[in-house]
């Protein structure tokens, strides 16, 4: 009998984690083979490999412990990939040579499948003088554009493009430009961005006092702290970025604050790391540890959880020795501190099984108790490893135990650490678990609430057709099996119906016992007021969170699937989605008006001519077709293809401004060109700029990178169903914001992994 409880679980395993030959022939014939492969690989560094292989296999069996995707897919395969998920790169020097050396290191890391974080605060602001050169600095955002272009050319291991996090301090002179950088939908698309918020800044915000923006001790500008905070909040309200990282709190609570300083995180924010820091991830599946679910006396078996945590910690510690690293500096950093990030998944399902409403005071108290048990078990397991294998090399008992995180730990734990040392400097983190949660039977992800009780996903068949199948939450499926069609109890809540401050309560309860950080999305309703939205972030600060990420669906960020709290039925697409499609193409009139543009690409013998013809739909003029011509025969095939494809999109109607964004984002590795005082990364990007210029001229969009001037629903008559943004992996319109990343409910694709 298959171990998989849902079709989607087996499909995710086959697509992402099953070991196969280069031609696609399976090597792992069953999921048991996958578990065996991982167990054998991680036990290979032990003195008694056979004994630990069985222990490790038992932990993996039935999806009780879920190593992160890199470990599940890569362990035991002998492929040249890293088993670590998260990296923060070295400090960027404020010099041209140093900056591009860091760019090379980033490319090498992403090539092996690592997501990376960078702090761009170390680069001098735009307009600052450059010694020895008669020019002013271009500023950190210009170099972020270079990183973004590089990332688009690197395909990470597992056929996934790399993800990046960019941070900037709240006192950097370019912070205002950083805050609004992603208001241009075509810019920095490979980055998540977060502002590093300091304690003095938050004090200044609350006091309404002034705030200096400075670099190298020189003040460039003075602003009102509360106004700057409101700029951050407004951008996040409108565009879902930047995120907020309370960096002083992170450093104060860091067990290693005596030997490292943190200024950046991995792409999803759960791993604050020092320069060249790396962290591997894994999750305890709490839904598998509940006894007598939905019945009298339902409880989570803490004894089983403690034993499972101890085995998981040992497995993860072994990964430090078994993994490859893209850079030697990363290997040295990992060996010196042996940092791991053990987290949880299925928390919301476990709470449902014991009858608690996610977000309630009672659920937060229970989460506090469970997280404390995991923290104690993790630290004691690491102490036991230190007795056997030695403490991490940079361990200093007095300094380690003086950190803020140690102040809340039980005396039994701190006494054991002082006496025996500890194997792993940091042990706990709560990461996004979207894909591995699906693989485990669609348990609730991380510490998030249940996203949807059930939904429909489209599955691509071998003949090219698509079928629909229902995906049911693990706890809901268990309820159905026990009670049939009985109505769900009122304590069943989901991400869309939960009050934002309930989200914060749960994050705060978990953060108390997590020595790294937490990846979590606080879903906010579209109609939340700006003042109420700001209150979410202030509550996160006041209750001890290390960061805050929100998502408010709107025309810019896209919509999410909406679910009724009292319904099990599959959710339907929100009609406020930002793309509207015609059911049939518009008929071509006999005559059309248009404009022809001449594009001269440097070093090219022949110009390219671009003609855009328009059609009137209602009172709005909009592009209907495009013709791209050049005498250069090297351009013939792709210009014809582009003409046909863009014209086909234009004739479907709706929001076609995405064509501009996609073209402008194309990067030519051979190099771009300077045109009219600006750098254009490719000929295709130049064509995109011409089409954008035309759309602006006919009043279809507001301005460069600004999107539609008016609602596309007012410009078309025959509408097909309204949809959100398309998944870049499978093409389906099933993207949802989960744990800070747009995630596809059909194929499991996530920008962040």
pLDDT of residue 464: 57
**3-state SS class at 626:** strand
**3-state SS class at 5:** coil
**pLDDT block averages, 10 residues each, the chain of length 753:** 84 91 91 97 95 98 95 87 87 93 90 85 92 78 90 54 86 97 84 96 98 96 98 95 96 96 94 94 97 96 98 97 91 96 97 97 98 98 98 97 92 97 97 90 94 81 70 94 92 90 97 95 93 97 96 71 40 34 55 86 79 80 87 78 85 77 77 76 88 87 56 32 53 65 70 58
CA distance 470 to 746: 11
pLDDT of residue 563: 42
Q: What is the pLDDT of residues 287-340, one digit of tens each?
A: 999 999 999 999 999 999 999 999 999 999 999 999 888 899 999 999 999 999
Query: Which residues are the active-site residues?
Result: 266, 268, 270
Is omega for the bond preceding 242 within 30 degrees of 0, making it cis?
yes
CA atoms within 13 A on the CB side of 224: 7
Beta strands in 426-478 (DSSP E): 454-460, 466-472
- Phi/psi of residue 607, each to 5°? -80, 160
Q: Which residues, in sequence order, are CB contacts of 713 under 8 Å at separation 6+?
A: 580, 719, 722
How far, rounded to the nearest angstrom, does the alpha carbon of residue 436 sit from its chain's CA centroid? 14
Give the CA radius of gyration of the chain.
26
CA distance 373 to 395: 24
pLDDT of residue 707: 46
CA distance 531 to 500: 13
| DSSP percent split of the chain into helix, strand, coil, nearest 5 | 40, 20, 40
Question: pTM for this structure?
Answer: 0.79
**3-state SS class at 280:** strand
CA distance 440 to 693: 49
CA angle 661, 664, 666 (to 5 degrees): 115
Cα distances (angstroms) measured from residue 247 to each of 200, 402, 450: 11, 19, 29
How far, rounded to the nearest angstrom, does the alpha carbon of residue 183 sit from its chain's CA centroid? 18
> Would you state the structure tokens that stand for residue 344, as one six-digit string?
């949880």
pLDDT of residue 556: 67
CA distance 236 to 176: 13
Q: What is the pLDDT of residues 507-538, one digit of tens each?
A: 999 999 999 999 999 999 999 999 999 999 99
């Amino acid at each position: 009998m298959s171990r998989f409880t849902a079709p989607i679980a087996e499909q995710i395993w086959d697509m992402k984690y099953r070991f196969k030959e280069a031609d696609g022939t399976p090597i792992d014939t069953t999921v048991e083979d996958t578990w065996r492969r991982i167990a054998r690989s991680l036990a290979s560094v032990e003195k008694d490999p056979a004994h630990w292989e069985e222990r490790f296999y038992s932990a993996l069996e039935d999806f009780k412990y879920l190593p992160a995707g890199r470990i599940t897919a890569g362990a035991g395969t002998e492929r040249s990939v890293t088993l670590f998920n998260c990296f923060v790169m070295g400090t960027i020097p404020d010099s041209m040579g140093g900056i591009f050396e860091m760019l090379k290191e980033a490319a090498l890391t992403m090539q092996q499948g690592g997501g990376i974080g960078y702090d761009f605060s170390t680069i001098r602001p735009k307009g600052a003088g450059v010694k020895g050169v008669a020019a002013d600095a271009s500023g950190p955002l210009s170099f972020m554009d270079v990183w973004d272009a590089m990332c688009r050319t690197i395909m990470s291991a597992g056929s996934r493009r790399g993800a990046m996090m960019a941070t900037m301090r709240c006192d950097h002179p370019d912070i205002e430009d950083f805050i609004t950088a992603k208001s241009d939908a075509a810019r920095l698309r490979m980055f998540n961005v977060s502002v590093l918020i300091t304690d003095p800044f938050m004090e200044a915000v609350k006091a309404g006092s002034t705030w200096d923006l400075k670099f190298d001790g020189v003040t460039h500008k003075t602003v009102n702290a509360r106004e700057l905070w409101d700029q951050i909040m407004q951008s996040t309200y409108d565009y879902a970025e930047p995120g907020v990282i309370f960096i002083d709190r992170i450093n104060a609570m860091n067990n290693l604050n005596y030997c490292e300083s943190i200024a950046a995180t991995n792409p999803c924010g759960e791993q604050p790391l020092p320069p060249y820091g790396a962290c591997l991830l894994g999750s305890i599946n709490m839904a598998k540890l509940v006894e007598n679910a939905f019945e009298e006396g339902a409880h989570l078996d803490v004894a089983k959880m403690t034993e499972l945590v101890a085995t998981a910690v040992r497995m993860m510690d072994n990964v430090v020795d078994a993994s490859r690293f893209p850079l030697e500096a990363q290997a040295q950093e990992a060996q010196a501190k042996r940092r791991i990030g053990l987290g949880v998944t299925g928390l919301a399902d476990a709470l449902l099984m014991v009858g608690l409403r996610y977000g309630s005071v009672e659920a937060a108290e229970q989460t506090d108790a469970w997280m404390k048990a995991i923290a104690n078990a993790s630290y004691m397991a690491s102490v036991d490893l230190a007795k056997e294998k030695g403490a991490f090399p940079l361990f200093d008992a007095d300094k380690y135990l003086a950190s803020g995180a140690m102040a809340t730990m039980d005396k039994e734990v701190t006494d054991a650490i002082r006496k025996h040392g500890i194997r792993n400097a940091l042990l706990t983190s709560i990461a996004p678990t979207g894909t591995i949660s699906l693989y485990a039977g669609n348990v609730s992800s991380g510490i998030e609430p249940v996203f949807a009780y059930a939904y429909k996903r489209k599955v691509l068949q071998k003949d090219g057709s698509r079928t629909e199948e229902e995906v049911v939450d693990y706890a809901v499926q268990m309820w159905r099996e026990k009670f049939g069609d009985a109505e769900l109890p009122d304590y069943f809540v989901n991400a869309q119906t939960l009050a934002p401050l309930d989200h914060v309560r749960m994050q705060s309860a978990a953060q108390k016992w997590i020595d790294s950080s937490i990846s979590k999305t606080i879903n906010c309703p579209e109609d939340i007021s700006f003042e109420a939205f700001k209150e979410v972030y202030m509550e996160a600060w006041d209750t001890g969170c290390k960061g805050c990420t929100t998502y408010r669906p709107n025309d810019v960020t896209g919509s999410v699937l909406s679910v009724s709290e009292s319904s099990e039925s599959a959710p339907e697409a929100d009609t406020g989605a930002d793309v509207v499609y015609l059911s049939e193409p518009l008929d071509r009139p006999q005559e059309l008006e248009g404009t022809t543009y001449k594009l001269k690409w440097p070093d090219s013998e022949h110009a390219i001519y671009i003609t855009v013809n328009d059609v009137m739909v209602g009172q709005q003029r909009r592009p209907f077709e495009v013709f791209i011509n050049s005498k250069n025969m090297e351009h013939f095939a792709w210009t014809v293809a582009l003409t046909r494809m863009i014209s086909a999109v234009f004739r479907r109607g709706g929001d076609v401004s995405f064509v501009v964004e996609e073209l402008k984002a194309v990067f030519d590795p051979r190099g771009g060109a300077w045109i009219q005082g600006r750098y254009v990364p490719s000929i295709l990007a130049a064509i995109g700029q011409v089409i954008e210029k035309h759309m602006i001229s006919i009043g279809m969009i507001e301005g460069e990178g600004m999107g539609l001037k008016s609602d596309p629903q007012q410009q078309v008559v025959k509408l097909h169903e309204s949809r959100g943004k398309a998944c870049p992996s499978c093409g389906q319109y099933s993207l949802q914001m989960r744990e800070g990343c747009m995630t596809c409910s059909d194929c499991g694709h996530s920008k962040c992994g």
